[in-house]
Amino acid sequence: MIKIINTLAKQFNYMPMYKKILALLLVSLVLSAFVSAHSGKPKYHVIIDTDGAIDDMRAISMFLAQNDTRVLAITCSQGTLAPDSIFEKVNNLLSAFHHEGIPVGLDEELEKELPPWAAYTQKIRWASSKSSELASKKICSGELISSVFKNYPEKITLVALGSLKTYAELVEQHPEYVDKIERIVWYNNPYIDTDFNESVSPESYAYFKQKNIPLEVVGNNTDHYNVDAAYLETIKSTKSQYAKQIARVHQHPEIVSRMEAEHLQLWDDLVALYLTVPILFETEKATGKVSYVTVQNGLPDEVVNKAISAILASGMQTTNRVFNSFPVDADLYKPAYAKMLESTIENYGLIEWKAISMTNEIHGHTGIYSIIGAKMGIRAMEYFNVGVNNLAITTFAGRKPPLSCFNDGIQISSGATIGQGLITVSDTILEVPTITATFNKQKIKISVKPEIAAQMQEEIKYGVKTYGALTDEYWLYIEKLAIRYWSEFDRNEIFTIEKL
């Protein structure tokens, strides 16, 4: 595959247009397969430190979108902006993506002046402001990272989009965590004397040069890979919420003017790209455990843009074991479901569509509580930004239908099944469908909003009263009701979430 990329890169400028198109299509297909191929468990477990620049927003969105990457925490350290400002931007972004369960920490403000571009960067909203009880409480970065290392069983990659100061302080204060660090991946152009990220804390870079921890310094030492109209058009071709958010942010007049002047490049974005598609990069050994990483020489912008597009799309794709892709051909579905297929996937995504379709098949009928359970399972995974088989869930729906039907939806959507040993059916039964979900020592309670639960109960009572219990007419009524819930109930609107 590396030879394919290299050959196409070298020959690209000499190809006729139709061959260029074919080359890009080939690379796009190969990259899409590479990015979306995963086992259901992440390959990379990362903590991200950001200094608040606009390229950080793009990079963080890419990390959040990747199926193969789990973001365990995000910390905010001074660089382009002050930590408090970054903290707000990061929390707004996580809220926009419904990933409120990713904890956010912040460093102390430094007694240093912010760079000249800070004023413009401060104006850029990463997402709409949302006052939410789920927003992270302010916790210092060191304390947060330490708690993640203490609880998490896998080795962790530290991603630095600003300086290395946060991680240098972590290692200095907690040498016991060194063996749990897989590597540090840092954006900083190694071929420029004292690039900005290094200048914020040059002593931290010097510190890691002496440590026995792999440090991969990623940089863009070219005059291309611009964030421009072509880049935006490529990523917008996906139906990814992450791509849409990047596109929205880049409509800000300050950003548009810089794009038009070719003053915006792919910078920190390359760290996220490198972690997922390292074959696009060349690595040069420096001293000790330090390596310099740059995009392969001559690689066309179109190839890089398509790779980023594939990453942004990957988080919206289903994890399949039997299917190459989950079927969305309307001809394969019964009329009532074919009619709602396109709009429902557009509104709530393919992942939810698959979960509810499989729930109905396994459950044996299109049921109300099972569908609500499937939506809640997807919401719980979305909250923590994890895939299937990663949550420990306790349900309070008992073992007696119709309420217990909720348990089937929870299991099938989240992978927290009896066989996996990840689900517990509590002896305590609540009339309102409720679960607790736990990931990495973080625990939340999710419940159906009382007014939604009351509506469901009233409509079921009406069905029993009108058609009789468990008659054919009753089941037809329930199916129509369930289809309406499936197509009209937004999982981000019908539940309450409480941190425990």
Q: What's the pLDDT tens digit per position in 399-418?
A: 999 999 999 999 999 999 99
- 192 pLDDT band (50/70/90 cuts)? confident
Where does the pLDDT of residue 299 fall: very low under 50, low under 70, confident under 90, or very high at 90 and above? confident
Average pLDDT (466-488) is 94
Residue 378's nearest CA partner among 486, 253, 289 is 486
Asked if the model's pLDDT at residue 3 lies above 50, the reply is no
Can you state the angle between helices 335-348 and 350-363, rounded to 10 degrees?
A: 140
Q: Which CATH architecture has domain 330-499?
A: 2-Layer Sandwich (3.30)
- Written in H, E and C, the secondary structure of 208-245 is HHCCCCCEEEEECCCCCCECCHHHHHHHHCCCCHHHHH
Which residues contact residue 488 at a Cβ distance below 8 angstroms, ignoring those fewer than 6 apart?
A: none
| Residue ranges per structural domain of the chain | 2-314, 330-499
Q: Is the predicted pLDDT of residue 33 greater than 60, yes or no?
A: no
What's the mean pLDDT when you consider all of the chain?
89
Burial 80-114 (b: 16+ CB within 10 A, else e): bbbbebbbbbbbbbbbbbbbbbbbbbbbeebeeeb
Tokens of 443: 């625990």
What's the pLDDT tens digit per position in 95-135? 999 999 999 999 988 888 999 999 999 999 999 876 555 55
487, pLDDT greater than 60 = yes
- Alpha carbon distance 181, 70 (integer Å): 15
Question: Is-cis flag, bond preceding 433, omega within 30?
Answer: no
Residue whose C-alpha is closest to residue 55's, from 262, 212, 259, 269: 269
418: enclosing H helix or E strand: none
Kindly report the backbone phi and psi dihedral angles of residue 160, in degrees, each rounded to the nearest multiple of 5, phi listed first: -115, 115
Average pLDDT value for residue range 257-273: 93
pLDDT digits (tens, 9 = 90+) for 231-240: 999 999 988 9
pLDDT digits (tens, 9 = 90+) for 354-365: 999 999 999 999
Is residue 101 within 8 A of residue 385, CB to CB? The reply is yes
> If you classify domain 2-314 with CATH, what class do you get?
alpha beta
DSSP assignment letter at 113: P
